[in-house]
Chains A and B, each alone.
Chain A
C-alpha cells in the first residue's frame, strides 16, 4: 500500500536527519521525500510517500509524533488530495526526431526548456503516474539524465494541514 504523509515540523537544524533516521532505523521504506518552508517561516513541511501495510503506517505516524520538533502528522486520504512532482528530462534528439519529441511533449502538456544540437530538456510538473507515462514515452529516444523532486501534496477543498 502506498500512502502520503504531510508532516509539519519546527524549522530547526537536524529535524530532517531525525526523521529520515527514524525511517531507516525502523525499516520503513521511503519512495519520496520533499521539504520546504511553509507560510510560517518557523515551520517546514515534509511530504513523504512511502510503502507499507496498515500496521507499518500506523507505527510510523506514532513514531513521527514522538519526535519533539514534529508538530503534526497527517496521512492524506486517497483521492482527496492533489499531488505533484517536478521532473527535468534530458532526451537524446537527433535533428530528424525533433518534431516528434516536441509533439510528444505537447500531447502531455510538458514544456521544452532547453535545446542543444543533439538533445532537448523537457520540464514536467504532474502526478507521479503522469510523470511515469511521460518517461515511458520518451524512453525510446534515449534518456540522458533525469532530475526529479519528491512528491508534494495538498488536501482538496477546504481541508488543510496547518499548525
Chain B
C-alpha cells in the first residue's frame, strides 16, 4: 500500500524535479513527512509563500531541463500568499506547478479553519487547476499538470490536495507514460504557407525589423534566432521579457522598445516601435504559440501560430540567401552608435545607469542579472550589456520584490554562474526576509541595492503628472541595510561613487559567499 503523500513525492521524482520551494502547515504535513525522505529532491524553506512561487519562476527560467518550477504551500493563508507569485508567473508565461494542501474533502465548503477556495481564487491566473478528490487520481493529475505547464504557451498549474487524499492509501503507484487531454492539443508546428507569405513580405520590405519577446528564450531557440538575424542582417529590438535574445553589443541589436525603452527601438517612423506608432505601410508578421495573442493588441497581416523552435527552422530554410539592403544595414549601424550616451554624474552618488553598463564586464559572460521593479529595473533593462547570460525580471506583472527570490531560484538552477540582483530600496524591503533563505543555504547571490530613499518610479510619475506632489513615495524609517546584512551574517559594503562601487564589485564577484552592496543614488536620477 502507498499513501497519497508518497505518491505526490514519487510523481515529482518521476518528473525529474530536483528542487521544490515551499512552506509547511497542517494540511500539507502528510506531504512534508514524505518529502523528508526523498533522496533526490531538495526542499528549500522560504520565508513567505509568495517568494516560493517567485523562486520556482527563477528556477524554471534558468534551468536547462525545461521542467516547471515547483512550489508548495499549506491551505488557507499559505495558499493565498502564493497568489501574487502565481499571477506573476502567469503574466510572464513561466512554467510552474503549485501544490497546496487543503482541508479534508468531507469538510470542503464548511468554512472550517484555514479553508480557502484557492482554485477559485486563482482561476484568472492559472493555465489550469485541479482539486483532487481521489488518491487514485494523483498520478494522472501530476502528469497532466507538468505537461500543461510546460507545453504550448507555458504557465502555472495549481494542484489543490485535501489532507485525507494525501493520507489515504491505494494498492500501488503507477505513473502514466503519456497524457491524453482531449481539449488540449497545442499547435506547435507552424503553417508552411504562412511562413512562405512571411518570407515574401520580408523580401519585399525596405526596412525589415524583428521585435522579439520572451518566447524566443522560453522555447530555447536563442542560438538559431541569432543565426537568423546574422544571416539576414535584419535588426532586432526586444520587449523587456525578450532582453538577452541578442548580446547587447551586437551590431544588429537596437535595444528595448516601449515607454521605458531609450533606444532607437522607439524612433517612431524611422523604425517600427509601439503599435500606435506604426505607419500605414507596415506589414506585421506575428509569430506566437498562443493563437489568442494574435490580433489581440496589434493588427496583424501575417499570423503564424507555432513554437518558435519549429517556425525558426522553417524561416531559416525558406529565406535562403536573402540579405537586407546595404542602405538599411548602414542606417542601423548609425543608430546603434547614436545611443551610447553617457549620463551625467552627481557628486557623492553612484550613477546607476553607468554602473549597470560597467557591471556586465566585471561578471563572467554567462552571468544572470535579476532586476526588480521600478527605476532600478529600467536602468538595468536599458544599460546592462548582456552577453551569453540572462536578464530576468517580471515584465508582465511588474511585481515588486521579485528579484531576490527569483535570484534564489536562478542560483539553484545554475550554481556555477554569477547571479546578481539589482533592486530598489523599496523592492528590497518587499522580500528581504528571504535573506535568511540565501544565508541558510549559503547561496552566493550578490545583491546591489540602489538606494534613493524613494519609490523612485512612482515619484517620477508624480513629477510628471501630479505636479511634483510626492504623496507616499518618500521612504522614511528605512533601516540601515548594512546592519540588516550584518544581522544575517552576509558580507556587505556601501558606495557613494562609481569608482567605489566598481572596486567593491570586483572583490564581491570573486567571493563564493552572498554579498550586499548598497549604492547611494541621487534621488532625482531619471529612469531613462
Assess whether B295 is interfacial by the CB under 8 Å rule. yes
Assess whether B184 is interfacial by the CB under 8 Å rule. yes
- Which residues of chain B in 220-236 are interfacial with respect to chain A, using CB atoms and an 8 Å cutoff? none
| Binary flags per residue of B293-327, CB closer than 8 Å to A gives 1, else 0 | 00110000000000000000000000000000000
Q: Which of B121-129, B205-213, B368-376 contacts A (4 or more CB under 8 A)?
A: B121-129
Nearest A residue to B133 via CB reads A13
How many Å lie between the Cα of A67 and that of B124 in the bound state?
11
- If A17-B123, A18-B123, A21-B123 touch, whether A70 touches B295 (CB-CB below 8 Å) is no
A58 CB contacts on chain B under 8 angstroms: 295
| Residue among A17, A18, A25, A68 making CB contact with B181, cutoff 8 Å | A68
Assess whether B342 is interfacial by the CB under 8 Å rule. no
Assess whether A109 is interfacial by the CB under 8 Å rule. no
Assess whether A14 is interfacial by the CB under 8 Å rule. yes
How many Å lie between the Cα of A21 and that of B121 in the bound state?
11
- If A14-B119, A17-B123, A21-B123 touch, whether A68 touches B295 (CB-CB below 8 Å) is no
Assess whether B290 is interfacial by the CB under 8 Å rule. yes
Q: Are A69 and B296 in contact (CB under 8 A)?
A: no
How many Å lie between the Cα of A52 and that of B292 in the bound state?
17
Determine how close the nearest CB of chain A comes to the CB of B98; give it in whole angstroms: 16
A65, A66, A70 interface centre (most CB from chain B within 10 Å):
A66
Assess whether A38 is interfacial by the CB under 8 Å rule. no
How many Å lie between the Cα of A10 and that of B144 in the bound state?
15
Assess whether B1 is interfacial by the CB under 8 Å rule. no
- Which residues of chain B in 170-185 are interfacial with respect to chain A, using CB atoms and an 8 Å cutoff? 181-184
Assess whether A62 is interfacial by the CB under 8 Å rule. yes
| Residue among B131, B182, B292, B296 making CB contact with A65, cutoff 8 Å | B292
- Which residues of chain A in 66-105 are interfacial with respect to chain B, using CB atoms and an 8 Å cutoff? 66-72
Assess whether B291 is interfacial by the CB under 8 Å rule. yes
Determine how close the nearest CB of chain B comes to the CB of A99; give it in whole angstroms: 52
Q: Are A21 and B124 in contact (CB under 8 A)?
A: yes
Q: Are A66 and B292 in contact (CB under 8 A)?
A: yes
Assess whether B477 is interfacial by the CB under 8 Å rule. no
Nearest A residue to B155 via CB reads A66
- If A10-B182, A17-B120, A21-B124 touch, whether A66 touches B290 (CB-CB below 8 Å) is yes
Determine how close the nearest CB of chain B comes to the CB of A44; give it in whole angstroms: 12
Determine how close the nearest CB of chain A comes to the CB of B116; give it in whole angstroms: 15
| Residue among B181, B184, B292, B295 making CB contact with A63, cutoff 8 Å | B292
| Residue among B120, B124, B127, B296 making CB contact with A68, cutoff 8 Å | B127
Assess whether B254 is interfacial by the CB under 8 Å rule. no
Assess whether B148 is interfacial by the CB under 8 Å rule. yes
Q: Are B123 and A68 in contact (CB under 8 A)?
A: no
How many Å lie between the Cα of A31 and that of B296 in the bound state?
23
How many Å lie between the Cα of A62 and that of B290 in the bound state?
9
Q: Are B183 and A69 in contact (CB under 8 A)?
A: yes
Give the contact-size bracket for chain B.
10 to 19
How many Å lie between the Cα of A63 and that of B127 in the bound state?
11
B123 CB contacts on chain A under 8 angstroms: 17-18, 21
B184 CB contacts on chain A under 8 angstroms: 68
- If A17-B120, A18-B123, A65-B291 touch, whether A10 touches B296 (CB-CB below 8 Å) is no
- If A10-B183, A163-B182 touch, whether A68 touches B148 (CB-CB below 8 Å) is yes
How many Å lie between the Cα of A21 and that of B122 in the bound state?
11
- Which residues of chain B in 98-144 are interfacial with respect to chain A, using CB atoms and an 8 Å cutoff? 119-120, 123-124, 127-129, 131
Determine how close the nearest CB of chain B comes to the CB of A63; give it in whole angstroms: 6
How many Å lie between the Cα of A69 and that of B296 in the bound state?
23
| Binary flags per residue of B177-220, CB closer than 8 Å to A gives 1, else 0 | 00001111000000000000000000000000000000000000
Assess whether A149 is interfacial by the CB under 8 Å rule. no
| Binary flags per residue of A13-29, CB closer than 8 Å to B gives 1, else 0 | 11001100100010000
Assess whether A59 is interfacial by the CB under 8 Å rule. yes
Nearest B residue to A66 via CB reads B292
- If A14-B119, A21-B124, A68-B148 touch, whether A59 touches B182 (CB-CB below 8 Å) is no
How many Å lie between the Cα of A141 and that of B181 in the bound state?
53
Determine how close the nearest CB of chain B comes to the CB of A38; give it in whole angstroms: 13
B120 CB contacts on chain A under 8 angstroms: 17
- If A14-B119, A68-B127 touch, whether A62 touches B183 (CB-CB below 8 Å) is no
Q: Are A70 and B292 in contact (CB under 8 A)?
A: no
Determine how close the nearest CB of chain A comes to the CB of B136; give it in whole angstroms: 15
Nearest B residue to A9 via CB reads B183
- Which residues of chain B in 15-39 are interfacial with respect to chain A, using CB atoms and an 8 Å cutoff? none
A21 CB contacts on chain B under 8 angstroms: 123-124
How many Å lie between the Cα of A71 and that of B131 in the bound state?
20
B120, B123, B292 interface centre (most CB from chain A within 10 Å):
B292
How many Å lie between the Cα of A69 and that of B119 in the bound state?
15
A13 CB contacts on chain B under 8 angstroms: 131
Nearest B residue to A25 via CB reads B124
A68 CB contacts on chain B under 8 angstroms: 127-128, 148, 181, 183-184
| Binary flags per residue of A92-125, CB closer than 8 Å to B gives 1, else 0 | 0000000000000000000000000000000000
B295 CB contacts on chain A under 8 angstroms: 55, 58
A55 CB contacts on chain B under 8 angstroms: 295
Nearest A residue to B157 via CB reads A68
How many Å lie between the Cα of A25 and that of B87 in the bound state?
15
Determine how close the nearest CB of chain A comes to the CB of B182; give it in whole angstroms: 5
How many Å lie between the Cα of A71 and that of B291 in the bound state?
16
Nearest A residue to B294 via CB reads A62
Determine how close the nearest CB of chain A comes to the CB of B16; give it in whole angstroms: 23
| CB<8 Å pairs between A and B, sample of 6 | A14-B131, A21-B124, A59-B296, A65-B291, A66-B290, A71-B182
Q: Name the 5 nearest CB pairs between A and B, nearest first.
A: A62-B292, A71-B183, A68-B128, A70-B183, A68-B184
Residues of A whose CB lies within 8 Å of any CB of B are 9-10, 13-14, 17-18, 21, 25, 55, 58-59, 62-63, 65-72, 163
4 further A-B contacts with Cβ under 8 Å, apart from A14-B131, A17-B123, A66-B292, are: A18-B123, A62-B292, A63-B292, A69-B183
